[in-house]
Amino acid sequence: MAKIKLGIIGGGIDSAVGKAHVSAIRLSNEFDITACKFSKDLGLDKKSHNSYQIPWRSKPKDLKAFINEFKSELDMVLLLTPSTQHFDESSILIKSGMPFVTEKPVACSLDEVKKITKMINKYPNIYSRFIHNYSGFPLYRELVRRAKKGFIGNIRDVRVQMPSDGYARISVLGPPQNWRHTKSPIPMLSLDLGTHLCHLVSLLIGKSPGILNSRQRVLNNKLDLIDDIQIWNEREDGISVSYWMSKGHLGIKNGLSIEVYGDNGSLKWELLDPDHLVQSDINSNQLKINRGSILRKLNQLDRFKPGHPTGFIEAFANFYQDLSDDFHRFRKGQTPNIWISPITEALEGLEFLHAATKSHQSRKWVKYE
């Protein structure tokens, strides 16, 4: 099939994630990067084009004008702009009929979530997806497969966490980007990290009504930024889920992990050891599963043989390869790729994180539908 013509908005050389996206897109070998606007700053836009080795062309500053001018060159647009801009830019893309994928979060408040949901319902034929690269790791996918196949019995408890130390090291690293200081209705930490955790849980066990409680605090930074959040979710399907996200714990760069406990065993996967999955049985005996032993279809995206650990960019490229497959399926009216979620899932995750904030503010358990 022909490569997908992809335009990129944001993600210049001054961004935290631009280079990772461009590297993963190229590694997937499914896209042609065409018209891009990496920055509103002309000099920075030119430098970014040069750094990414993409020819620079003059472009309008306005996103709507950009789409109108380059629509014939674009199959899809990737939004890598600051979180606070996503709602306005996604709205423009939806109304213009342009397929798009956006970095998380899709929105920054419940009000924005409701408005985007309304637009998605009004324009159901617009292809809209969101970035969820951590689910591209083969051993996370193996964890999902084993849990769904009943390898550990009925799931009772899920624990997912993503601690790190970025805000605790501001004196060394300097302050985060200005937009991360925004006092949004849903704390920026939830928008940044919680969105990933909600997606990983959703792929694993889906959605269920229930009640939740949360604690959100400033633990270890001088900018008064919430840097430590815990959420406890008791679901009507009988599964308890606990979330922990942090940027205030020294000694941890990215402690992403997920633990799944059933009535006949457990499963655990962590980012710091991405090519192994630990499965325990009813006697607490542990089996360490390596990437070379999992289903071939989960490993078909491997770029080198097991024994050479899967990295972040490789998992990101897996996401883009699946995204390409999902986009082609969408155009043909076929069943979606099982590893690519619709943007509505991200909106549901934001509703969950909004409820967690309300719980923290009220110091009470709150209902979540």
Give the model's confidence band at 369: pLDDT under 50 very low, under 70 low, under 90 confident, else very high: confident
Q: Other C-beta atoms within 10 Å of 172: how many?
A: 7
Give the model's confidence band at 297: pLDDT under 50 very low, under 70 low, under 90 confident, else very high: low
Give the model's confidence band at 242: pLDDT under 50 very low, under 70 low, under 90 confident, else very high: very high
Describe the chain by its helix, strand, coil percentages, rounded to 5. Answer: 40, 20, 35
Residue 367 CA to residue 235 CA, distance in Å, equals 10
Residue 59 CA to residue 202 CA, distance in Å, equals 39
- The residue ranking higher by pLDDT, 61 or 104, is 104
Q: Is 294 left (phi over 0), alpha (psi -120 to 50) or beta?
A: beta
In the prediction, which pLDDT does 292 show?
Answer: 79
Question: Mean of the pLDDT values across residues 10-23?
Answer: 93
In the prediction, which pLDDT does 180 show?
Answer: 87
Mean of pLDDT over the chain: 93
The number of angstroms, rounded, from the C-alpha of 158 to the middle of its chain's C-alpha atoms is: 19
In the prediction, which pLDDT does 137 show?
Answer: 92
Q: Other C-beta atoms within 10 Å of 241: how many?
A: 23
In the prediction, which pLDDT does 178 show?
Answer: 86
Residue 332 CA to residue 215 CA, distance in Å, equals 45
Per-residue pLDDT tens over the stretch 309-343: 578 888 999 999 999 999 999 999 999 999 999 99
DSSP string, 31-66: EEEEEEE--SSHHHHHHHHHHTT-------SSHHHH
In the prediction, which pLDDT does 294 show?
Answer: 80
Give the model's confidence band at 159: pLDDT under 50 very low, under 70 low, under 90 confident, else very high: very high
Per-residue pLDDT tens over the stretch 176-191: 888 888 888 999 999 9
Smallest CA-to-CA distance from 101 within 346, 354, 298, 352 is with 346
CA distances from 31 to 34, 54, 75, 231, 324 (A): 9, 13, 10, 38, 8
In the prediction, which pLDDT does 181 show?
Answer: 87
Smallest CA-to-CA distance from 211 within 347, 110, 359 is with 359
Half-sphere exposure of 36 (CA within 13 A, CB side): 30
In the prediction, which pLDDT does 291 show?
Answer: 83
Question: Mean of the pLDDT values across residues 244-258?
Answer: 95
**Residue 345: pLDDT over 90:** yes
Six token digits for residue 180: 């991360």
In the prediction, which pLDDT does 300 show?
Answer: 53
Whether the Cβ atoms of residue 98 and residue 9 lie closer than 8 Å to each other: no
Give the model's confidence band at 301: pLDDT under 50 very low, under 70 low, under 90 confident, else very high: low
Q: What percent of the chain has pLDDT over 90?
A: 87
14: Cβ–Cβ under 8 A, 6 or more apart, which residues? 39, 44, 48
Task: Kindly state the DSSP code that residue 73 receives in the 8-state scheme.
Answer: G
**Residue 17: pLDDT over 70:** yes
